[in-house]
Structure 1
């Protein structure tokens, strides 16, 4: 069963960012409209097929601008899905860079820690400095681990939602 996301509008222009000079079919949705759609879609089961129903007054529903709304809405979410894909790539690229830097710092810190105790047994201050370098080396891997293990998940979820919305049929209802 399709889960409808219903929006009541006074005119097609109400759905779009009024500062965006591009035509409806290429323009950005108004922030409030996009948030409303995302909130509703996020509340629905993740596997449920979506549909977007735009309710317009009969006179507005018959206009060419209203006819362009389905393409504009699906196009908007398709562009947002593409942007999320770019964000995901950027996230992993930053993660790989941070990992390379973190591993280099870890190797340097472990090397310094080993140099501080050539005979293998450190005592007192030497042991403190040695352990400090080991800890700093492992802390250098914190950010890469965070990026590569956790930061990509919200972006991937958002992209999946945008893709679902881009694939959702958009229907105009004259009320």
Structure 2
């Protein structure tokens, strides 16, 4: 049974002329819609990440006190989506590199094992006692060399997919604007 607390994740943000600069990197001279997010703001959003599960829905709820604060909504939403799109593409590249490296290591390990299991026994004379000791050592070496790539390919890919899924949810999360009276306004931004 899933916990209902993790089904709907709301990220609350106050959008006003006073708070908008705190969401962006103060040293970035770019226009507001192209600026980098501040580390504190990214950390605030990523603090919700552990509670985001597979079937969770994430929603940004923006609190606008004045009508004039609405002009900051589009640049903020654009910056958030651009930031997490970049993070997602970096994580996807890391995952692709992880898979490529481990498949290469597995193929290389299989070639080494095939060489030692197939060719080396013919180089040693079957009548010598050293042959059985060396054959056992080759068996152990084969297990050892194949263990790590197989383990990584089976067990270590899930954290990559989880982070990619979280970034995807943060990119595509709907935006709900909440007014001063805490009632939902009619404006919702689609992903």
Gapped runs of 5+ residues in structure 1? none
Q: Which moved more, 1:135-144 or 1:152-161?
A: 135-144
Structure 2 equivalent of residue 141 of structure 1: 146
Deviation at 1:126, TM superposition (A): 4.3
Q: How does 1:60-75 map to 2 (within 5 A)?
A: 62=69, 64-75=71-82
Distance 2:20 2:74 in 1: 9
Structure 2 equivalent of residue 43 of structure 1: 51
Question: Is it true that 1:14 corresponds to 2:19 in the alignment?
Answer: no
Question: Is it true that 1:114 corresponds to 2:121 in the alignment?
Answer: yes
Pick the structure with more helix per residue.
Answer: 1
Q: Secondary structure at the match of 1:95?
A: helix
Distance 1:85 1:101 in 2: 24
Q: Is the 8 A contact 1:113 1:129 kept in 2?
A: no
- The TM-score normalised by the length of structure 2 is 0.72
Structure 2 equivalent of residue 129 of structure 1: 134
Q: Is the 8 A contact 2:125 2:131 kept in 1?
A: no
Change (3 A) 1:77 1:117: same
Distance 1:131 1:113 in 2: 12
Structure 1 equivalent of residue 99 of structure 2: 92
- The TM-score normalised by the length of structure 1 is 0.77
Distance 1:109 1:129 in 2: 10
Deviation at 1:68, TM superposition (A): 0.8
Question: Is it true that 1:52 corresponds to 2:57 in the alignment?
Answer: no
Change (3 A) 1:17 1:137: farther
Q: Which moved more, 1:72-81 or 1:45-54?
A: 45-54
- Size of the aligned set, in residue pairs, is 172
Q: Which moved more, 1:161-170 or 1:130-139?
A: 130-139
- Pick 1 or 2: higher relative contact order, CA cutoff 8 A, min separation 6: 1
Gapped runs of 5+ residues in structure 2? 1-6, 181-191
Distance 2:122 2:151 in 1: 30
Distance 2:69 2:79 in 1: 16
